[in-house]
A and B are shown apart, each in its own frame.
Chain A
Protein backbone atom coordinates (compact mmCIF):
# COMPACT_ATOMS: atom_id res chain seq x y z
CA UNK A 1 0.00 0.00 0.00
CA UNK A 2 1.24 3.45 -0.78
CA UNK A 3 1.92 5.65 2.22
CA UNK A 4 0.67 9.12 2.97
CA UNK A 5 1.76 11.57 0.30
CA UNK A 6 2.06 15.31 0.65
CA UNK A 7 2.54 17.90 -2.04
CA UNK A 8 4.47 20.01 -2.52
CA UNK A 9 7.45 18.92 -0.44
CA UNK A 10 8.97 22.39 -0.31
CA UNK A 11 7.41 25.80 -0.66
CA UNK A 12 8.71 29.34 -0.41
CA UNK A 13 6.25 32.20 0.01
CA UNK A 14 6.37 35.83 1.08
CA UNK A 15 4.50 37.48 3.90
CA UNK A 16 0.88 38.24 3.12
CA UNK A 17 0.49 35.51 0.53
CA UNK A 18 -1.64 32.45 0.98
CA UNK A 19 -0.73 28.80 0.50
CA UNK A 20 -2.51 25.50 -0.01
CA UNK A 21 -0.98 22.18 0.99
CA UNK A 22 -2.29 18.83 -0.11
CA UNK A 23 -2.40 15.42 1.56
CA UNK A 24 -3.42 12.05 0.14
CA UNK A 25 -4.06 9.48 2.88
CA UNK A 26 -3.41 5.77 2.77
CA UNK A 27 -6.08 4.03 0.72
CA UNK A 28 -9.05 3.18 2.94
CA UNK A 29 -8.18 5.66 5.66
CA UNK A 30 -10.94 8.11 6.45
CA UNK A 31 -9.33 10.34 9.06
CA UNK A 32 -6.74 12.97 8.20
CA UNK A 33 -4.97 15.12 10.77
CA UNK A 34 -2.59 18.03 10.30
CA UNK A 35 0.29 19.04 12.54
CA UNK A 36 2.72 21.93 12.53
CA UNK A 37 6.31 21.26 13.56
CA UNK A 38 8.68 24.09 14.50
CA UNK A 39 11.93 24.11 16.51
CA UNK A 40 10.40 26.41 19.11
CA UNK A 41 6.92 24.97 19.58
CA UNK A 42 7.50 21.35 18.59
CA UNK A 43 4.65 19.33 17.15
CA UNK A 44 1.28 21.00 17.45
CA UNK A 45 -2.10 19.69 16.34
CA UNK A 46 -3.90 21.83 13.78
CA UNK A 47 -7.09 19.94 12.95
CA UNK A 48 -8.60 16.59 12.07
CA UNK A 49 -11.06 15.68 9.37
CA UNK A 50 -13.22 12.60 9.18
CA UNK A 51 -15.74 11.93 6.42
CA UNK A 52 -15.39 15.49 5.12
CA UNK A 53 -16.17 17.01 8.55
CA UNK A 54 -13.78 18.82 10.84
CA UNK A 55 -13.94 16.86 14.04
CA UNK A 56 -11.28 18.53 16.15
CA UNK A 57 -9.32 21.76 16.02
CA UNK A 58 -6.16 22.96 17.73
CA UNK A 59 -5.34 26.43 19.01
CA UNK A 60 -4.45 28.16 15.78
CA UNK A 61 -5.85 31.38 14.35
CA UNK A 62 -8.59 31.37 11.75
CA UNK A 63 -5.99 31.97 9.03
CA UNK A 64 -5.43 28.22 9.18
CA UNK A 65 -8.20 26.24 7.57
CA UNK A 66 -8.69 22.91 5.94
CA UNK A 67 -11.08 20.65 4.15
CA UNK A 68 -11.50 17.04 3.20
CA UNK A 69 -12.90 15.68 -0.01
CA UNK A 70 -15.11 12.66 -0.58
CA UNK A 71 -12.07 10.55 -1.49
CA UNK A 72 -10.53 11.45 1.91
CA UNK A 73 -7.85 13.65 0.37
CA UNK A 74 -7.32 16.77 2.40
CA UNK A 75 -6.02 20.27 1.89
CA UNK A 76 -4.99 22.89 4.36
CA UNK A 77 -4.84 26.57 3.61
CA UNK A 78 -2.98 29.34 5.35
CA UNK A 79 -3.97 32.88 4.42
CA UNK A 80 -2.06 36.09 5.04
CA UNK A 81 1.18 34.30 5.77
CA UNK A 82 3.40 35.48 8.60
CA UNK A 83 7.09 34.79 9.19
CA UNK A 84 6.14 32.59 12.13
CA UNK A 85 4.22 30.24 9.84
CA UNK A 86 7.52 28.87 8.56
CA UNK A 87 7.40 25.23 9.61
CA UNK A 88 7.18 21.62 8.56
CA UNK A 89 3.53 20.75 8.06
CA UNK A 90 2.78 17.09 8.59
CA UNK A 91 -0.29 15.22 7.54
CA UNK A 92 -1.31 11.93 9.13
CA UNK A 93 -4.01 9.46 8.24
CA UNK A 94 -5.71 6.75 10.26
CA UNK A 95 -8.30 4.15 9.49
CA UNK A 96 -11.36 5.29 11.43
CA UNK A 97 -10.07 8.11 13.54
CA UNK A 98 -10.53 6.35 16.88
CA UNK A 99 -8.19 7.25 19.73
CA UNK A 100 -6.64 3.81 19.50
CA UNK A 101 -5.95 4.07 15.77
CA UNK A 102 -2.36 4.50 14.66
CA UNK A 103 -1.68 7.68 12.76
CA UNK A 104 0.59 7.27 9.74
CA UNK A 105 2.53 10.35 8.79
CA UNK A 106 3.55 11.73 5.45
CA UNK A 107 6.99 13.23 4.76
CA UNK A 108 5.71 16.76 5.31
CA UNK A 109 5.70 20.03 3.42
CA UNK A 110 8.49 22.43 4.38
CA UNK A 111 7.05 25.96 4.19
CA UNK A 112 9.39 28.94 4.30
CA UNK A 113 7.89 32.41 4.61
CA UNK A 114 10.18 35.29 3.63
Chain B
Protein backbone atom coordinates (compact mmCIF):
# COMPACT_ATOMS: atom_id res chain seq x y z
CA UNK B 1 0.00 0.00 0.00
CA UNK B 2 1.06 3.54 -0.62
CA UNK B 3 1.77 6.06 2.11
CA UNK B 4 2.47 9.79 2.29
CA UNK B 5 4.59 11.69 4.80
CA UNK B 6 4.34 15.39 5.45
CA UNK B 7 7.03 16.07 8.03
CA UNK B 8 6.09 19.68 8.78
CA UNK B 9 2.84 20.06 10.67
CA UNK B 10 3.12 23.85 10.70
CA UNK B 11 5.05 26.30 8.56
CA UNK B 12 5.03 29.99 9.51
CA UNK B 13 6.23 32.42 6.86
CA UNK B 14 6.13 36.16 6.25
CA UNK B 15 4.14 37.57 3.37
CA UNK B 16 6.05 37.80 0.07
CA UNK B 17 8.61 35.24 1.27
CA UNK B 18 9.11 31.90 -0.52
CA UNK B 19 7.79 28.68 0.98
CA UNK B 20 8.28 24.96 0.49
CA UNK B 21 5.94 22.33 1.91
CA UNK B 22 7.50 18.89 1.91
CA UNK B 23 5.87 15.66 0.84
CA UNK B 24 7.40 12.21 0.56
CA UNK B 25 5.60 9.11 -0.64
CA UNK B 26 6.17 5.40 -0.75
CA UNK B 27 4.80 3.33 -3.58
CA UNK B 28 5.75 0.22 -5.49
CA UNK B 29 3.52 0.94 -8.47
CA UNK B 30 3.00 3.85 -10.84
CA UNK B 31 2.43 7.00 -8.85
CA UNK B 32 -0.21 9.66 -9.20
CA UNK B 33 0.24 12.55 -6.77
CA UNK B 34 -2.00 15.41 -5.71
CA UNK B 35 -1.84 18.53 -3.57
CA UNK B 36 -5.07 19.75 -2.03
CA UNK B 37 -5.73 22.90 0.01
CA UNK B 38 -8.33 23.26 2.75
CA UNK B 39 -9.50 26.65 3.99
CA UNK B 40 -11.24 26.87 7.39
CA UNK B 41 -14.67 25.23 7.46
CA UNK B 42 -14.43 24.15 3.85
CA UNK B 43 -13.77 20.99 1.88
CA UNK B 44 -10.61 20.24 -0.04
CA UNK B 45 -9.74 21.97 -3.29
CA UNK B 46 -7.30 20.54 -5.81
CA UNK B 47 -4.18 22.67 -6.23
CA UNK B 48 -2.26 20.57 -8.72
CA UNK B 49 -1.54 16.98 -9.68
CA UNK B 50 1.15 14.86 -11.27
CA UNK B 51 0.06 12.00 -13.49
CA UNK B 52 2.89 11.64 -16.01
CA UNK B 53 5.09 13.66 -18.34
CA UNK B 54 6.78 16.83 -17.13
CA UNK B 55 7.91 16.46 -13.55
CA UNK B 56 7.17 20.11 -12.80
CA UNK B 57 3.49 20.91 -12.45
CA UNK B 58 1.97 24.31 -11.78
CA UNK B 59 -1.26 25.68 -10.39
CA UNK B 60 -3.11 28.79 -11.51
CA UNK B 61 -2.35 30.66 -8.28
CA UNK B 62 1.44 30.48 -8.41
CA UNK B 63 2.15 27.18 -6.65
CA UNK B 64 4.30 24.53 -8.27
CA UNK B 65 5.42 21.05 -7.33
CA UNK B 66 8.16 18.83 -8.67
CA UNK B 67 7.91 15.07 -8.88
CA UNK B 68 11.25 13.51 -7.95
CA UNK B 69 11.21 9.76 -8.41
CA UNK B 70 14.69 9.11 -7.02
CA UNK B 71 13.90 10.98 -3.81
CA UNK B 72 10.24 9.86 -3.75
CA UNK B 73 9.21 13.44 -3.15
CA UNK B 74 6.57 15.85 -4.40
CA UNK B 75 7.36 19.12 -2.61
CA UNK B 76 5.10 22.14 -3.05
CA UNK B 77 6.64 25.56 -3.56
CA UNK B 78 5.61 29.15 -4.03
CA UNK B 79 8.14 31.93 -4.66
CA UNK B 80 6.12 34.63 -2.90
CA UNK B 81 3.22 33.89 -0.56
CA UNK B 82 0.21 36.04 0.16
CA UNK B 83 -1.81 36.31 3.34
CA UNK B 84 -4.67 34.55 1.51
CA UNK B 85 -2.51 31.43 1.16
CA UNK B 86 -3.00 30.73 4.86
CA UNK B 87 -4.63 27.29 4.90
CA UNK B 88 -3.92 23.62 5.44
CA UNK B 89 -2.24 21.75 2.61
CA UNK B 90 -2.53 18.03 2.03
CA UNK B 91 -0.41 15.84 -0.17
CA UNK B 92 -2.09 12.68 -1.45
CA UNK B 93 -1.31 9.64 -3.53
CA UNK B 94 -3.79 7.66 -5.55
CA UNK B 95 -3.75 4.29 -3.86
CA UNK B 96 -3.73 1.23 -6.08
CA UNK B 97 -4.90 -1.28 -3.45
CA UNK B 98 -8.40 -2.62 -3.93
CA UNK B 99 -8.96 -0.91 -7.23
CA UNK B 100 -11.04 2.16 -7.84
CA UNK B 101 -10.18 5.70 -6.90
CA UNK B 102 -8.90 5.94 -3.36
CA UNK B 103 -6.68 8.73 -2.06
CA UNK B 104 -4.22 8.23 0.78
CA UNK B 105 -3.44 11.55 2.41
CA UNK B 106 -0.57 12.89 4.43
CA UNK B 107 -1.25 14.45 7.82
CA UNK B 108 -1.32 17.95 6.40
CA UNK B 109 0.79 21.09 6.78
CA UNK B 110 -0.71 24.24 8.22
CA UNK B 111 0.72 27.21 6.35
CA UNK B 112 0.44 30.45 8.29
CA UNK B 113 1.35 33.60 6.43
CA UNK B 114 2.13 36.57 8.64
CA UNK B 115 2.38 40.26 7.82
Contacts and interface: CB of A to CB of B under 8 A. Distances in A.
Interface of A: 4, 31, 33, 35, 42-43, 45, 48, 50, 55-58, 90, 92, 94, 97-108
Interface residues of B, number: 26
A97 B96 CA distance: 12
Contacts of A57: 98
Most chain B beta-carbon contacts within 10 A, residue among A43, A58, A98: A43
Q: Is the interface of A mostly helix, strand, loop or mixed?
A: strand
B94 A45 contact: no
B53 to A, nearest CB: 12
B32 to A, nearest CB: 6
Interface in B67-115: 90, 94-96, 98-108
A55 B41 CA distance: 29
Nearest to A98: B101
Interface string B40-62: 01111110010100000000000
